Structure 1
Amino acid sequence: MTSATARVASAVVAAAALALTGACDSGGDGGSPETTRPSASGSSGSPPASGSPSLSVSPTPTGTAPEDPEEAEQEIREAWRVFFDPESSLEERSEVVESGEQNSLMIDNLFRDPLGSRLRATVASVSFITSGDATITYTLTRDGRRLDTGGPGAAVLQDDTWKIALDTVCALTRHAEDAPEAPSCG
């Protein structure tokens, strides 16, 4: 490969990386992009134009994505659906949260709380940071009204299962009247 060809190839790779970085940081929360796993929950962007959630394009497998990113994304979306479903039991919710069994009291308090029990979330997109960490962009609502939560959520691979990151659930407690964070929250 000639040096001119190598420079062109490097420029193309750099442009693609910048485009991907910009696509991942379209949250509009005014903050800088995270370089580690997000620890806050939240929504970004504007709500979907219609009543149905928008679907993201699954990333192609890379050294940082899971082996089957489409399956991983489906598992993540299902975990979020179960967690926010008003019909889900405490056991079901705890199963979809990182270290959920050890933090079931916080999860129970969140969904027994008069305000927390009315929280709902719609996942807008899933972006893989590593093969075991993902950033989740979602819209958080209460009684159909969008809440500004200040950042993206996260999912982690724990025991070969994708779960909502504990840090995300910890951050959700601020949307309740009386649902304190668990001692394991950072």
Structure 2
Amino acid sequence: MAARGTAFAAALLLLLAPALAACSDDEGGGGNESPPTPTVEQTERTEPAEQSPAATAPADVGAAETEIKQNWQKFFDPATSMEDKQTVLENGDRMAPVLQAFSGDERGGQVQAKVSKVDFTSPTEANVTYDLTLKGATALPDASGTAVEQDGTWKVSAKTLCALVQLSGNGSPIPGC
């Protein structure tokens, strides 16, 4: 907090110094010269005023979107092994207990997902809209989740899995969420 106050005082001094210097006339005569006008230096911005599409999406949007759709389908496919699901889940090794709880639930083992929309929020994160089906019937239309790029692979985010586990109505907190 003190540093902020010091910075403010320094900025104020820089702005007022030319005006104060103009008011103190060494000759005591109040000359006709107008005081110098303070100038504002433009500093180079480190962030663009408006984010470019490259800043809010991966370099190859098409490939990333395809990978997200494939990996979400793989993650929610009942035929996919637990080990394979871990490879497309954010922090898959650490999230194994949560994944086990989700897949161990009778309904969790029967759900599938179809991604309908991917909106990139950064080069490594995306909001995902998907339909969750249970035995082929849509159980949760237009569900929202997130995908993250981790170690070069687009994965289902841990928070998406945790939200689904909470929806299952288990009630007991799962370690990792």
TM-score normalised by structure 1 residue count: 0.61
Identical counterparts, % of pairs: 36
* TM-aligned CA deviation for residue 166 of structure 1: 0.5
CA pair 125-99 structure 1, distance change in 2 beyond 3 A: same
Q: Which residue of 1 aligns with 2:113?
A: 121
CA distance in 2: counterparts of 1:93 and 1:67, whole angstroms: 26
CA distance in 2: counterparts of 1:121 and 1:150, whole angstroms: 10
Who wins on radius of gyration, i.e. which is larger? 2
CA distance in 1: counterparts of 2:168 and 2:161, whole angstroms: 12
CA distance in 2: counterparts of 1:174 and 1:142, whole angstroms: 17
Q: Which residue of 2 aligns with 1:30?
A: none
Q: Which runs of 5+ in 1 are unaligned?
A: 1-59
Encode CA deviations 1:34-93: one digit per residue, 9 max, x unaligned: xxxxxxxxxxxxxxxxxxxxxxxxxx9522110111111111111101111111111000
Q: Which residue of 2 aligns with 1:101?
A: 93
CA pair 139-150 structure 1, distance change in 2 beyond 3 A: closer
Aligned 8 A contact 1:64 1:129 in 2: yes
Superposed structure 1 runs of 4+ greater than 4 Å apart: 177-181
Three-state SS of the structure 2 residue aligned to 1:123 is: strand
More strand by share: 2
* TM-aligned CA deviation for residue 155 of structure 1: 0.2
CA pair 146-165 structure 1, distance change in 2 beyond 3 A: same
Aligned 8 A contact 1:114 1:176 in 2: no
CA distance in 2: counterparts of 1:111 and 1:179, whole angstroms: 16
Encode CA deviations 1:130-154: one digit per residue, 9 max, x unaligned: 0011000100121233234785110
CA pair 180-147 structure 1, distance change in 2 beyond 3 A: farther
Aligned 8 A contact 1:96 1:162 in 2: yes
CA distance in 2: counterparts of 1:104 and 1:84, whole angstroms: 15
CA pair 108-183 structure 1, distance change in 2 beyond 3 A: closer
Q: Which runs of 5+ in 2 are unaligned?
A: 1-51
The alignment's C-alpha RMSD in Å is: 2.3
Aligned length, in residue pairs: 126
TM-score normalised by structure 2 residue count: 0.64
